[in-house]
Amino acid sequence: MPIIPKDEAQAILKKVLSFSTADEAEANLYGGTRGNVRYARNTVTTAGGTDNVSLAVQVWFGKRSGVATCNQFDDATLRRCVQRAEEIAKLAPEDPEYMPRLGPQQYLTAPSFAASTAGITPDFRAQAAGDSIALCAAKQLTAAGFLEDGTRFEAIRNSKGLEAYQQSTNLDFSVTVRTPDGTGSGYAVADFTDAGKFDAKALTQRAATKASSSVGAKAIEPGKYTVILEPAALVSDEGLINRLVYAFDAREADEGRSFLSKKGGGTRKGEKLFDPRISISIDPTNALAPGGTFDNEGLPVKKLPIIEKGVAKNLYYSRYWAQKNKTEPTGFTGNFIMEGGTQSLEDLIKSTQKGILVTRLWYIRDVDPQTLLVTGLTRDGTFYIENGKIKHPIKNMRFNESPVIMLNNVEAIGRAQRLGGNLVPPLKIRDFTFTSLSDAI
């Protein structure tokens, strides 16, 4: 097993650092096992996995640094690896944005590892795929799905005494169910730290219901509509919310090339830019969506509000940019928590006079970074709502919308759920802009 326990990992890193003669040194040891099964046309197509562990050593002589790696762990290899990094550092140009290594840090504890997931076997994966296929085949539907699980560890140690270690597991599953004539399509997606919570049949059933009920879609005129965006429509495929969250970089805002840059200079930090019910934060300790507790320099990931009650509360600072601006740097490994409400998806539908339920958005791409305008299309289950009920399926449409504008047009917020390692609620949004029809099903 390529999962190296904490003490063993730190012992390897300690030895590596002892071989260095540089002013500063840092070593990262990381790796794991991952496995997957993929199926389509109601049969398994590919399945496999990989084992890999790597060591990266970075050293500094003054402001010059070098990196080297190896994946064998005998003393001779480790010594050679450190020497190589030192040789590169001596030849490198000085880094004007050099920052000294961090000293010892305190890290939060995240419930990011589950033994149930680490113990997954090829038979477990084949069973999940088989269950999903059997459910669809029995209904004369066609399943295409993917299950991937992984067990990882990451360890860091540096010459200033910093020590970090974390193990994590994940199971990601998605399934698209289509009618055999291609006139209906439905989708379900979920991810877990603990494979014990995974239910392939329930997720497949959800996609199958959407597939069957999306047959016979009617075209409606593109334009501005009230939409209910399910979490998959908000964060799958690098979605609207991910793009907004990743756009909070302080340096870009200070440099005038961000939607957070202010006319005349400066940033919009502290301004109310969104509906007051919108709050998004970083919290690696969240029980449902645990995250990384340190970044790749060992900087702690702390609880931090990004958007608080509609206000742009904090931007991300690299260590260099934070020092230059006399503020704290931000540890961030990519996952976030968006605050939800108490209503279920069904409640949101019930309270909608006229609107559109969107299962998934697809091929989302930036159009204008000035306004965060993005485009993309609905997919795998788009329905017209009238008087609180799903009336009929509708044809897919292209949208052109900015998450900044969208989060000013909030009608209601549902219960948050985990997706893509984040917590995200379904949102009801008014005046969402659809610009053309698509024939895709």
Partner 1 sequence: MQRRHFVGLTGLAAGALFLPRFPALSGTPVDVAELLRPFDAALNKRLADAALNAAKAAGASYADVRIGRYLNQYLFTRERQVQNIVSTESQGIGVRVIVNGAWGFWATNQLTEADVAKAATTAAQIAKANARIQKEPVQLAPQQGYGEVSWKTPIQRNALEVPVKEKVDLLLAANAKALDAGASFINSALFQVNEQKYFASTDGSYIDQDVHRIWPTFTVTVVDKASGKFRSREALSSPMGLGYEYLVPKAQDKIKGPAGTDVIGYRNSYDLLEDAALAARQAKAKLTAPSVVPGKYDLVLDPAHLGLTIHESVGHPLELDRVLGYEANFAGTSFATLDWKKQGKPYGSKLVNIVADKLQPGSVGAVGYDDEGVKTREWDLIRDGQLVDYQKIRDQAHIVGQDHSDGCCYSQSWQDVQFQRMPNVSLRPGKQKLSVDDMIRGVDKGIYIAGAGSYSIDQQRYNFQFGGQTFYAIEKGKITGQIEDVAYQSNTQEFWNSCAAICDQSDYRLFGTFFDGKGQPSQSSAVAHGSSTTRFNGVNVINTARKV
Q: Which of residues 177-206 bind partner 1 (CB under 8 A)?
A: 178, 182, 185, 187, 193
CA angle (242, 40, 178) in 5-degree steps = 75
Q: Which helix (H) or strand (E) holds 378?
A: strand 373-386
Angle between helices 122-138 and 200-213 (to 10 degrees): 30
Question: Could you tell me how many residues of this chain bind partner 1 (CB under 8 A)?
Answer: 115
- Shortest CA distance to 381 belongs to which of 209, 141, 144, 137? 209
Please identify, among the stretches 6-14, 82-90, 196-204, 225-233, the one whose residues bind partner 1 according to the rule CB under 8 A.
82-90
- Cα separation, 61 vs 63, in Å, equals 6
Residue 185 or 352 having the CB closest to partner 1: 185
- Cα separation, 323 vs 327, in Å, equals 6
Tokens of 434: 């659809």
The residues facing 390 across adjacent strands are 385
Q: In the complex, what is the shortest distance from the CB of residue 353 to partner 1, in angstroms, rounded to a whole number?
A: 27
Name which of residues 355 to 414 contact partner 1 (CB under 8 A).
Answer: 362-373, 375-377, 379, 396, 398, 400, 402, 404-405
- Cα separation, 175 vs 141, in Å, equals 12
Q: In the complex, what is the shortest distance from the CB of residue 402 to partner 1, in angstroms, rounded to a whole number?
A: 6
Q: In the complex, what is the shortest distance from the CB of residue 256 to partner 1, in angstroms, rounded to a whole number?
A: 4
DSSP tag of 202: H
Please identify, among the stretches 17-25, 302-310, 351-359, 432-440, the one whose residues bind partner 1 according to the rule CB under 8 A.
432-440
Name which of residues 320 to 349 contact partner 1 (CB under 8 A).
Answer: 333-335
Residue window 36-65: x/- pattern of binding to partner 1, with contact defined by CB under 8 A:
xxxxxxxxxxxxxxxxxxx-x---------
Beta strands in 236-353 (DSSP E): 280-282, 304-308, 311-312, 337-338
Q: In the complex, what is the shortest distance from the CB of residue 75 to partner 1, in angstroms, rounded to a whole number?
A: 18
Residue 58 or 352 having the CB closest to partner 1: 58
Residue 66 or 355 having the CB closest to partner 1: 66
Please identify, among the stretches 19-27, 167-175, 337-345, 346-354, the one whose residues bind partner 1 according to the rule CB under 8 A.
167-175
Residue 284 or 349 having the CB closest to partner 1: 284
| 354 scored as a contact of partner 1 (CB under 8 A) | no
Which residue of 10, 105, 174, 382 would you call a contact of partner 1, by CB under 8 A? 174
- Shortest CA distance to 187 belongs to which of 43, 397, 337, 383? 383
Residue 149 or 348 having the CB closest to partner 1: 149
**What is residue 162's three-state secondary structure?**
coil
- Find tokens 């930036």 and name the residue: 366
- Cα separation, 403 vs 422, in Å, equals 17
